[in-house]
Amino acid sequence: MPMPPPADLPIARTEAPARLLVVQSLAVQPLAAVLEESGYELLRAADAIAAMQGLGASPALVIMDMELPELPGDGPLELLRRLGGGGVPVLTLSRPRDPLRLGALLAAGAAECLVKPVRMSDLLARVERLLRPAPATGPMAPRRPTASMTVRERDGHCAWQTPQARGLMAAFFPPPWSEHARLPPEVLAWLHREALRRRAGAPPSSLTVAPPSGAPRQRLSFTLMAADAAVIGEGHWLLVLHEADEAASIATLAKGLDLPMSDAELLFGLLGEPAPDQQARAMGLGDAAYRVRLEALCRRLGVPDLDQARERARSALGPSAIAG
C-alpha cells in the first residue's frame, strides 16, 4: 500500500499532473509513493538506459538520486551530465560529501541539490519551485552571469549548458548550429587555439562575436575557465558567455579596482542583489566558503562591509553601466 503523505505536505492539485522522471533504485519506494500521492505523474528509471529513455518522454523535471547501485564509480555524475544537457531541470539527492560535492553537481548540470535525509515537505517545495518559478518583475538588474557550458575540445560537442547559455547560442548562431549540441566552426577554432595558448602558459584571451545581421543584440564574448576534469569530463573545457555590457563591466571592475577576474565577477554579481544562496550555488560554493570569499573581497577593497563594496563598484562603473 502506498505511503500516505505527511500532514504538512501540500494538498494534491486538481489540474493535469506534471510528469516527473525519478532516477532512483527501484528498491526505494517512499519517494515515489509520496510524489504520486501528491498528484504527479511518474516515470521511473534505475539505470542510464532507462533514464535517457524517460527523458525522451518529455518530463517537466528530473529527480535523480546520486546513489545508484546500477552505476558504480563516476557513473551517476556522468548520467547527470547527460540528463542536465537535455534541457530539463534536474533536482539531485545525495549524502553529505566533501565541500566540493555541491559544486560538482551544479557544474554537471543540477538545477537544485538536496542532501539526504530529505524531508518530503522540503522535497515537494523544491519540486514546486522548479516547476513554477517565480515570474520576473521589473527591469533586469546586473547580476552574476550564469551562462556557461562544458564542451569537448576534440569536436566542440556541448556536454552541458545552462538555459542562459542555450538561449544566447540560439540567438547568435542560426540553424543548423542552434539545433545541434556543437560549437559553430568559428568558436571551435578559437577554442582549439586558446587551449593551446593556455597549455603554453599564455595569458587568457576571449572571443567576441557579432550578432546576426539586423539582430538587436550586443556582441557576445566567450572565455575559457579552468575546471576540474573529474567534474566536467576529461578533455572538456568550461566556457562562460557574456554579452558585451556585462563583459565590459567586469573587465572595468577588474582594472579599475585592481581585482582578479574572479573577484570582479563576484562584485558585479552583488550589484544585482541576488539572494546569497543563489549566488553561492552559481559559484559552486558552500555557505561558509561563500562568506569567506565575500570577507576577502571586502579586505581587498579596503571596505568594512558589502554596502561599501557595492558603492566602490558603482563608482568604478559609473551610472550608465549599472542601469537596468
pLDDT tens, residue by residue, 210-232: 888 776 667 888 988 766 666 56
Q: Give tens-digit pLDDT for 3-35.
A: 444 434 343 344 567 899 999 887 655 677 778
Of 310, 273, 241, which is closest to residue 143 (Cα–Cα)?
Answer: 273
State residue 1's pLDDT score.
Answer: 38
CA distances (Å), 261 to each of 60, 164, 223, in order?
Answer: 36, 21, 11
- At residue 128, the pLDDT reads 84
Q: What is the pLDDT of residue 279?
A: 64
Element spanning 297, H or E = helix 287-301
pLDDT tens-place string over residues 168-208: 888 888 777 766 678 999 999 999 999 999 889 888 788 88
Nearest to 63 by CA among 98, 97, 96, 28: 28
Tell me if the domain spanning 19-131 has CATH number 3.30.56.10: no
| pLDDT score at 4 | 41
Low-confidence ranges of the chain (pLDDT < 50): 1-14, 99, 135-145, 284, 320-324
Residue 37 near residue 108 (C-beta atoms within 8 A): no
Domain boundaries, the chain: 19-131, 148-322
For the beta carbon of residue 42, count every other beta carbon within 10 angstroms. 17
Q: How far apart are CA 40 and CA 13, in angstroms?
A: 9
CA distances from 209 to 182, 187, 196 (A): 16, 9, 20
pLDDT at res. 137 = 41
Strands 148-152 and 90-94: unpaired
